[in-house]
Amino acid sequence: MNNKKLIADAFALIKEKDIKFVDLKFMDFPGQWQHTTVPVDVFDESSFENGFGFDGSSIRGWKKINESDMLIIPDPSTMFIDPFIKIPTISFICDVYEPATKEKYSRCPRNIAEKAINFLKSTGIADTAFFGPEAEFFVFDDVRYDTTGNSSYFYIDSKEGAWNSGRIENPNLANKPRYKEGYFPVPPVDSLIDLRSEMVMNLLSVGVPVEAQHHEVASGGQCEIDIRFQPLLKSADQLLMFKYVVKNTAFQNNKTVTFMPKPISGDNGSGMHVHVSLWKDGNPLFAGNGYAGLSEMALHFIGGILKHTSSLLAITNPTTNSYKRLVPGFEAPVNLAYSQRNRSAAVRIPMYSSSPKAKRVEFRCPDPSSNPYLAFSAILMAGLDGVINKINPGEPLDKDIYDLPAEELQNVPSTPESLAAALHALEVDHDYLLRGNVFTEDVIETWINYKMEKEVKGIAQKPHPYEFTMYYDV
């Protein structure tokens, strides 16, 4: 559908729904939605060309104060009626532009995703990359945290928490999921089904298709809602809509949602398994006669992901907390191998369907703290490097990796143990991201510097509460 038709449809909807405000949403560098809102009477067809100005120096990882003027221009294909704003409001997702040149800003994550798609097409390998993310999350009833010069703590609570089995609740009705046993229980153990169903209804209302919803493994309110796979850019857009809807639906119900990878000690964390497939001229390219029904292209794609996983994780697992999830003994994969059905492998080939259209690879390391435009683009570029260079992924590992004897396990490479290690890997291994000018040296350097200065050093220089448990009596 061309832009003129989309713009006409937008104004028809504005008139039909008696819209009063237009909300303009865009992505900052680390991965959070930002927005500004304008009255509908200052919004016209020229807004899709001229955009709206804002201060880029106030956005994390972007401009210096002496070059701060920037533009956001709405994409008419992304409109939705915002269900969480009281006064009728229509929302658009925006691209970020340099006002002097009207070129898309090189650090705009959505621009990077668009360049990744264009690079894919330029190779002739495929014309579409489908992405299907599974973003897990926790629903909590109470969250408190603070860090000062002389104190630091966090406290989270959930009516579902196994730690509350003995709490006086007048009455305590029990039925709380045990640690690591929260996967697929029916109510009353799953007390969040109605909340998730409300989330699903809100997702459908804004145009995000949903395939399933269920309770997840961890105690304390861990959930998953599966949204349908989409082409790369639309998938990233819809993942942000998903997080927005899930958080706000919970907020309206006096609950709070976090996509933090590891908020609870001793139980499973929240991952974001990413399903990927390449298509050309409407035909799937990952189905074939190889291992697990894969094509040679798919196996090479896996080879690229496994080769670059250590540097990929600096983008797909971009927080210090991410590496508290990627530890042995839970379901998060820390060993770099591929397998059909085996969920302890970094790359899995789902075997639910024999249809060639369903053939895909599942990268299980990422988590939902990532910026989806950057994460999906980086995964695509790593996989394409494997296809271009015919990288052999090695032999599959169909055993339970966690039960492997030590002599076998030592031959299986592992994920980085920290964000600092992943950032170092990205520093030395990022040429595959530079192809087609998808990522630039400036983007890579800014990402590494931002993460090191704002996050890695921030954690490293502050006392941790657990250190008092270990060291206070030295």
Task: Report the catalytic residues.
Answer: 55, 134, 136, 216, 224, 273, 343, 362, 364
- Give the residue from 263, 292, 466, 262 showing the smallest Cα distance to 393: 292
Residue type for position 351? M
CA dihedral 110, 204, 269, 275 (to 10 degrees): -60
* Residues ≥6 apart with Cβ < 8 Å to 250: 139, 195, 199, 256, 257
Q: Are residues 97 and 70 in contact, defined by beta-carbon separation less than 8 angstroms?
A: yes
Please identify which residue in the block is written with the tokens 């009455």.
Answer: 171
Q: Strand, coil or helix: what is 132?
A: strand
Q: List, as own/partner pairs, every contact residues 168-177 make where C-beta atoms lie below 8 angstroms and the sequence separation is at least 24, other chains included.
A: 176/219, 177/215, 177/218, 177/219, 177/220
Q: Are residues 40 and 18 in contact, defined by beta-carbon separation less than 8 angstroms?
A: no
**How many alpha carbons fall within 13 Å on the CB side of residue 178?**
1
The C-alpha atoms of residue 104 and residue 85 are separated, in whole angstroms, by 29
Phi, psi (5° rounding) for residue 23?
-100, 130
- Give the residue from 378, 369, 362, 469 showing the smallest Cα distance to 431: 378
Give the CA diameter of the chain. Answer: 71
Neighbours of 166 (CB within 10 A): 8
Q: Which two tokens stand for residue 99?
A: 């006002």
Q: Which two tokens stand for residue 140?
A: 């909590």
Looking at residue 81, what DSSP letter applies? E
The C-alpha atoms of residue 81 and residue 291 are separated, in whole angstroms, by 45
Using H for helix, E for strand and C for coil, what is the string for 212-276? Answer: EEEECCCCCCEEEEEECCEEHHHHHHHHHHHHHHHHHHHHHCCCEEECCCCCCCCCCCCCEEEEE
The DSSP line for 431-448 is HHHHGGGSS-HHHHHHHH
Neighbours of 102 (CB within 10 A): 12
